[in-house]
Amino acid sequence: MSEPSEFEATLRARAGAVCELCSATDGLTVHELPPAAEPSPDHCVLLCPTCLSQIDRSAPLDPKHWFCLQQAAWSEVPAVQVIAYRLLSRLSEEGWARDLLDQVYLADETLEWARAGLDTDAGQASDPPGSRTVDSNGTELADGDSVTLIKDLDVKGAGFTAKRGTLVKGIRLTDNPEHVEGRVNKVSIVLKTCFLKKAV
Ligand SMILES: [Zn+2]
């Protein structure tokens, strides 16, 4: 980004000089949310090192730390809403995170941005590209496995919602480790692995 210091000043003013997620005050840095069309403070959040390390996946997610999202998710700042949404998606194994994800309201535009970034975020995962396909718990998936949905999913174009808990048998892996194919309501659809759990 071109003017980091100016950004930082804007963000510090907006955030009240605390981490916009957990309110920590030390070591705050500017984090730009992908995908950002152009550098702008509107596309950035001010974060502490603890939050940042888990967001950029250099540290494992600590669900307890993210209780702070119960407040942050209600922020009026779209960038904070977006990052909270993405984190809650990654935490959707946690009952409270799933409930919160169901409750928070995001404007259509913000939601689109939040979802677009789910791909980008996952693309920055520590595993090398083209690596294993894993479910939301990191359990490896293989052709023919059965999975359950951990989230209600709107099936675009098919006009129905695949409900959380739906069992999908005989999935097929795709070239993209974040996507598998499966049949729901007799329709073959692409499922994002972050919304799946391997059925045992
Ligand atoms: Zn923080």
The pocket of ion ligand 1, defined by CB under 5 A, consists of 19, 21-22, 24, 48, 51
The residue out of 124, 156, 182 marking a domain boundary is 124
Give the separation between CA 139 and CA 133, rounded to whole angstroms.
8
Can you give the C-alpha Rg of the chain in angstroms?
18
pLDDT tens digits, 145-157: 999 999 988 877 7
Examine the pLDDT at 118 and tell me if it is beyond 90.
no
- Residue 87 inside a domain? The answer is yes
The residues near 102 (Cβ < 8 Å, ≥ 6 apart) are none
- Residue 129 inside a domain? The answer is no
124 neighbors 57 (Cβ within 8 angstroms): yes
Q: Do 112 and 29 belong to one domain?
A: yes
For residues 33-60, give the mean pLDDT.
89
Examine the pLDDT at 78 and tell me if it is beyond 80.
yes
- Residue 175 inside a domain? The answer is yes
Q: Do 33 and 108 belong to one domain?
A: yes
Q: How far is the CA of 8 from the centre of ligand 1 (A)?
A: 16
172: nearest Cα among 193, 151, 195, 150? 193
- Residue 110 inside a domain? The answer is yes
User: Residue 186 belongs to a domain with what CATH number?
Assistant: 2.30.30.40
Looking at the structure of the chain, the number of domains it has is 2
- Residue 140 inside a domain? The answer is no
- Residue 132 inside a domain? The answer is no
Which pLDDT does position 176 carry in this prediction? 84
Hey, which of 72-76, 130-134, 136-140 has the most confident mean pLDDT?
72-76
Which phi and psi angles does 95 have, rounded to 5°? -55, -45
Q: Do 109 and 53 belong to one domain?
A: yes
For residues 37-64, give the mean pLDDT.
92
Q: Do 102 and 167 belong to one domain?
A: no
Q: Do 117 and 184 belong to one domain?
A: no
Q: How far is the CA of 188 from the centre of ligand 1 (A)?
A: 40
Give the separation between CA 133 and CA 174, rounded to whole angstroms.
9
Which pLDDT does position 94 carry in this prediction? 94
Residue 66: CB atoms within 10 A of its CB come to 24
Q: Do 49 and 81 belong to one domain?
A: yes
Q: How far is the CA of 139 from the centre of ligand 1 (A)?
A: 28
Containing structural domain, residue 82: 4-124
Q: How far is the CA of 126 from the centre of ligand 1 (A)?
A: 21
Q: How far is the CA of 136 from the centre of ligand 1 (A)?
A: 23
Which pLDDT does position 119 carry in this prediction? 56
Q: Do 37 and 106 belong to one domain?
A: yes
pTM as predicted: 0.59
